[in-house]
Structure 1
Amino acid sequence: MGKLTRRARAKADYLGFIGAREWPLAASGLGVALGVVTILPSAVGVGLSVVALALGMATFTRDLRLLRRRWAGFEFTTIAAPFPTADLPPPAYPDAAYLAVPARGTALVSAAIDRALWQERHTVDVAEEPYRLPPSLKATAPHVLPLRARGRLLFNGPIVGMRGDPLPAAGARPAPIRLHRARFFDAVCSNELAALRITRTDTGEEYDLRKAELTDTAGALRELSGSTLADLVGVSTVAFTTDGKLVTVRQSPLNSVSGLLLAPSGSGSLEPRDLRTPDGSPRRFLHTAVRAGMERELCEESGLTPGDVRETKLVGFARWMERGAKPEFFGLTELAVDSTEVARRRPVSGERLYSAGLALFDVDLSAIGAALAGGVPLSEALPQRLWEDGSLPLLLALRAAAAWQAARV
């Protein structure tokens, strides 16, 4: 898909989402248009059409004023302060801890969950009904989307959300993970509100999603099983060439989350197509679905093909707090091509708006894993360039991959 086509699609998705929620205004506008085009060449017809046009104009003007009043009734403030982890204890995850990276974000991590993902095989259960925004979030959606879309290209594409936590098994087998189908704008109007403070201008009442939706009755972070948000599943993998080079993607300014930062080799959201095998059969296990999403994103963003991929291992999990504590999975991919071949590749046409090219680095995962196991902070264990320029998913993926690699030694 070319750049112009993707820009047109982004605008169409945006107008369609807004129009579906402001249809009375659109109907009034249509009435005005019909009043203009149906003026008949007779005195009676002209008179009736003029009356209809006047009524339509009056209704349209009223609806437009009401719309502007409603949209002007909210003030939006970006929450720039670090996520208040001291005010929101982790849920009952084993070995749970918050990892804060300056200027990038905060993640909830669990070494025990990561280790369990190396071995266990969670099955998936896909809900028949798609996700729907709850009434409180649906009411704010028309106000939030224009703010989040400003200066960005956002597409209302299909995504997969998550209603379960990949906890280590209490018995012989881990519990199934509940998944649901959603659209990207559902996530923009739910999870992404965690970075905004919304204030009603008439009453001064504030809405803070972190308190309203992320906090359970005990005052801790909600588990995914009790969430009301879209909770789109993030999938990221770090790929290494046959000559040991780490492949990263330089994000363009148009990227809505990690613009101008170094991203993982493949990074994005799990999609419904990842839940099925190439022959159309449903995937039974979380691991296979997540790996399929990782490798799809890798090929789209790097220009590699499925034949260039030897193997992808699921190595970690986290929740990204600034994005409504959404789930993130991390992988480690072994490629079948060297760095010279990778450097020749270009992302697929639709990804060129977001990618400014590839960057390759020498990275010793075993050394990083040993340093982390010895208590060295992530900021000191990683190469300086990656720590300074890496996006949060890249840093978390390297952390998980290094821990997995160190455990094998």
Structure 2
Amino acid sequence: MGKLTRRARARADYLGFMGAREWPLAASGLGVVLGVVTVLPSAVGVVLSVVALGLGLATFTRDVRLLRRRWAGFAFTAIAAPFPTAELPPPSAYPPSEYLAVPARGTALVSAAIDRDLWTERHTITVAEEPYRLPPALKATAPHVLPLRARGRLLFNGPIVGLRGDPLPATGARPAPIRLHRARFFDAVCSNELGTLRITRADTGEEYDLRKAELTDTDGALRELSSSTLADLVGVSTVAFTTDGKLVTVRQSSLNAVSGLLLAPSGSGSLEPRDLRTLGGGPRRFLHTTVCAGMERELCEESGLRPQDVRETKLVGFARWMERGAKPEFFGVTELAVDSAEVAGRCPVSGERLYSAGLTLFDVDLPAIGAALGDGVPLSEALPRRIWEDGSLPLLLAPPARPPRRPGGRRGSDRFAPVLRVTGPLRSSAIVRKVP
């Protein structure tokens, strides 16, 4: 019943979202129905009912024509060209950053300085009281965008968490809290996911390009998340390793809206409001515990693992996915307490089986990969060929960089030593094209 429930919920969410914005049409249709139902077996009642039916039918017909005219007034064109990074430099407030373009997968803005700062686990969070609301310009296009995005996909309007602050390094004192906000998935579909669409008004020829209208600040650089107007849903991904050293990946189904038919990290999705609270019900205070909670939840949902099968998850990186409205992405690495045979026998929870087509495990020697990359070997040659050819952008960005050293020179948790003993970050690989 899990698949049927998810399909019914997706359809209900879609109709509810559209109906809230086209309620006059629904009201006219109701008038027609009431006109038919209230036909009485008397001359006066028949006349009044026929008049009411005629008025309702006329109004309904007019509204349908107006709706079709409004929908026909927009032309949508997919932007297939690579993201124009040369026209959009990183925010000036960011430490040294670079764009990494993976062919046929996407472009990400990354910073080694931000990654290193995240290892210190200093960032606290605060949650806005008011939920996110689409700005007027995006709200006007939402009824036209959602049907286009929902075509051939299974989308439901679940609760998500967006980011309205940048996890930037701070000198000296603890950095200011990073603000989060609650939103719905359709808010992101109708804002961030416009990054690969060009919208043209048929009557005026005016074009709307989200990259220029919403991602560019007054200085011509990429906007910081703190000044963004988009939903900026927080992406969370983790790569998990079994006790016998196997990397767990998830094969995405064709219904997946972003990485359909590609290999995804062991757990990959969006931060949700339930991740903001501890098991005891109290609010989480720190960014790293919050996003790691989301990573482990996604891991358990997509792999069928249980919370007790997870030993530890570390936050190791941050990026902004440019084609998806420069949304924030956090990456982690998870050490499991079970071996590959145990993992291979699991399957996704019922609601996730529509999106996940099963698990694939790989032998991945991260220390050897790190050594190869340090010698200048391209990532396409250092990684197993299947991962490079079929991996989604989050999977290719997720492998961890070198962890911070503890006092006395020791690195992180000893239990993570087999995973984290990498000589250099995979993101510096030559095959992931650096864009000036």
TM-score in same-fold range (> 0.5): yes
- Counterpart for residue 250 of structure 1: 251
- Counterpart for residue 24 of structure 2: 24
Counterparts of 1:131-146 in structure 2, within 5 Å, are 131-146=132-147
- Counterpart for residue 352 of structure 2: 351
- Counterpart for residue 77 of structure 2: 77
- Can you give the 5+ residue segments of structure 1 that lack an aligned partner in the other structure? none
User: SS at the partner of 2:119?
Assistant: helix
2:302 and 2:317 map into 1 onto residues whose CA distance is: 21
Matched, 1:289 2:287: no
2:220 and 2:396 map into 1 onto residues whose CA distance is: 29
On the 8 A contact 2:88/2:222 being kept in 1, the answer is yes
- Counterpart for residue 175 of structure 2: 174
Counterparts of 1:242-281 in structure 2, within 5 Å, are 242-281=243-282
User: Following TM superposition, by how much is the alpha carbon of 1:216 offset from its aligned partner in structure 2, in angstroms?
Assistant: 0.4
How far does the alpha carbon of each residue in 1:363-388 deviate from its partner, in whole angstroms, 9 at most, with x for none? 11222233444554433332222111
How high is the sequence identity, in percent, across the aligned residues?
86
- Counterpart for residue 126 of structure 1: 127
One-letter identity of the residue aligned with 1:188: V
On the 8 A contact 1:369/1:403 being kept in 2, the answer is no
- Counterpart for residue 166 of structure 2: 165
Gap change, CA 1:244 and 1:402, over 3 Å in 2? farther
2:235 and 2:65 map into 1 onto residues whose CA distance is: 40
- Counterpart for residue 38 of structure 1: 38
- Counterpart for residue 102 of structure 1: 103
Cα-Cα RMSD = 1.3
TM-score (norm 2): 0.91
On the 8 A contact 1:370/1:406 being kept in 2, the answer is no
1:303 and 1:162 map into 2 onto residues whose CA distance is: 28
1:25 and 1:372 map into 2 onto residues whose CA distance is: 60
- Counterpart for residue 211 of structure 1: 212
Matched, 1:240 2:241: yes
Counterparts of 1:190-205 in structure 2, within 5 Å, are 190-205=191-206
1:100 and 1:358 map into 2 onto residues whose CA distance is: 26
How far does the alpha carbon of each residue in 1:169-189 deviate from its partner, in whole angstroms, 9 at most, with x for none? 122212211000000000000
How far does the alpha carbon of each residue in 1:189-212 deviate from its partner, in whole angstroms, 9 at most, with x for none? 000001100011111111000000
2:293 and 2:121 map into 1 onto residues whose CA distance is: 17
- Counterpart for residue 383 of structure 1: 384
120-129 or 302-311: bigger deviation: 120-129
- Counterpart for residue 323 of structure 1: 324
TM-score (norm 1): 0.97
2:211 and 2:376 map into 1 onto residues whose CA distance is: 31
Gap change, CA 1:407 and 1:360, over 3 Å in 2? closer
1:306 and 1:143 map into 2 onto residues whose CA distance is: 41
User: SS at the partner of 2:362?
Assistant: strand
1:27 and 1:34 map into 2 onto residues whose CA distance is: 10
One-letter identity of the residue aligned with 1:23: W
User: Following TM superposition, by how much is the alpha carbon of 1:80 offset from its aligned partner in structure 2, in angstroms?
Assistant: 0.7
- Counterpart for residue 57 of structure 1: 57
Gap change, CA 1:334 and 1:228, over 3 Å in 2? same
User: SS at the partner of 1:81?
Assistant: coil
User: SS at the partner of 1:142?
Assistant: helix
1:125 and 1:373 map into 2 onto residues whose CA distance is: 39
2:222 and 2:248 map into 1 onto residues whose CA distance is: 34
Gap change, CA 1:194 and 1:136, over 3 Å in 2? same
- Counterpart for residue 406 of structure 2: none
One-letter identity of the residue aligned with 2:153: R
User: SS at the partner of 1:239?
Assistant: strand
- Counterpart for residue 156 of structure 1: 157
One-letter identity of the residue aligned with 1:216: D
- Can you give the 5+ residue segments of structure 2 that lack an aligned partner in the other structure? 404-419, 425-436
1:195 and 1:143 map into 2 onto residues whose CA distance is: 15
User: SS at the partner of 2:175?
Assistant: coil
2:372 and 2:217 map into 1 onto residues whose CA distance is: 36
1:140 and 1:276 map into 2 onto residues whose CA distance is: 34
- Counterpart for residue 66 of structure 2: 66
324-333 or 384-393: bigger deviation: 384-393
User: Following TM superposition, by how much is the alpha carbon of 1:408 offset from its aligned partner in structure 2, in angstroms?
Assistant: 8.3
Matched, 1:87 2:87: yes
One-letter identity of the residue aligned with 2:5: T
2:306 and 2:215 map into 1 onto residues whose CA distance is: 39
1:67 and 1:378 map into 2 onto residues whose CA distance is: 50
